Structure 1
Amino acid sequence: MKSRDTLIRLKRFQADERRRQVIQIETMVAEFERMAGELDREIKAEEAKAGITDPSHFAYPTYARAATARRDNLRGSADDLKIKLEDARSALADALDDLKMVETLDDREKASERSIAAQ
């Protein structure tokens, strides 16, 4: 009985840990996308202020060029994190399946023990 309870606690902990991991990655993706959006607005404002929108132009604003590189890096990082997010969601689904299986087995064993005790 104690080993079953320990196993259930372990599986719940693993599922909770996977859930936290998914939430953390989702938060990071959202933050990176928000920051990239802000950089987009700053780039457009800088281009409007300078009157030059062509990045290959010799007088293109240095800040806009640097912000574009940072924005592209953030978007690349967000894309990488989206791949990790799918893996984390898959791991969460597996952990929840394991937990459900262990809880189902525990319920069956307890029902069996009750029926034996009732006889």
Structure 2
Amino acid sequence: MKSRENLVRLKQFQVNEKRRQLLQLDMMIAEFDRMAGELELQINAEEKKAGITDINHFAYPTFAKAARLRRDNLKNSQADLLQQKAAAESLLAEAEAELSKAELLESRDGKRSEPETPNRNVMIG
């Protein structure tokens, strides 16, 4: 049936779109992690150069304070993305289940529409 084929194609498109969104989230999470790691290195270098690691010290480097704030913001954003990823994984699982159902219906419909072949195993005596 044509409508079943269209349904399967639609469900396949939806699954592919969910996978693409999940991949994007993974890439963003990894990028935020990389950026936070670089900031951490810069913070440590600045603290070492100043000889001050106490963020409450009056002479704590301004750059290190700003870098800490940015790093913390990246980590918060990363945590938000991880929540979005969990939701996206759930939506992907639902979309894959719907695709499986649609494929099953299509294959079942396809079997019904095939003409039956007569039994050719006739014994000649």
TM-score range, shorter chain: over 0.9
Q: 2:70: which partner in 1?
A: 70
TM-score, with length taken from structure 2: 0.91
TM-score, with length taken from structure 1: 0.96
The one-letter code of the counterpart of 1:64 is A
Q: Distance in 2 between matches of 1:18 and 1:60?
A: 46
Deviation at 1:113, TM superposition (A): 1.5
Kindly indicate which of the two structures has a greater share of residues assigned to helix: 1
Deviation at 1:109, TM superposition (A): 1.1
Q: 2:116: which partner in 1?
A: 118
- How many residues get paired? 117
Q: Distance in 1 between matches of 2:94 and 2:62?
A: 48
Between the aligned residues of both structures, percent identity stands at 52
Deviation at 1:21, TM superposition (A): 0.4
Q: 2:30: which partner in 1?
A: 30
Q: Distance in 2 between matches of 1:105 and 1:67?
A: 56
Superposed structure 1 runs of 4+ greater than 6 Å apart = none
* Cα contact 2:46–2:64 (8 A) shared by 1: yes
* Cα contact 2:4–2:105 (8 A) shared by 1: no
Q: What is the RMSD of the two structures over their aligned residues, measured on CA atoms? A: 0.8
Q: 1:82: which partner in 2?
A: 82
Cα deviation code 1:3-57 (max 9, x no counterpart): 1111111000000000000000011011001100110010000000000000000
**Correspondence list, 1:3-14, <5 A:** 3-14=3-14
Q: Distance in 2 between matches of 1:57 and 1:103?
A: 65
The one-letter code of the counterpart of 1:16 is N
Higher Cα Rg, which structure? 2
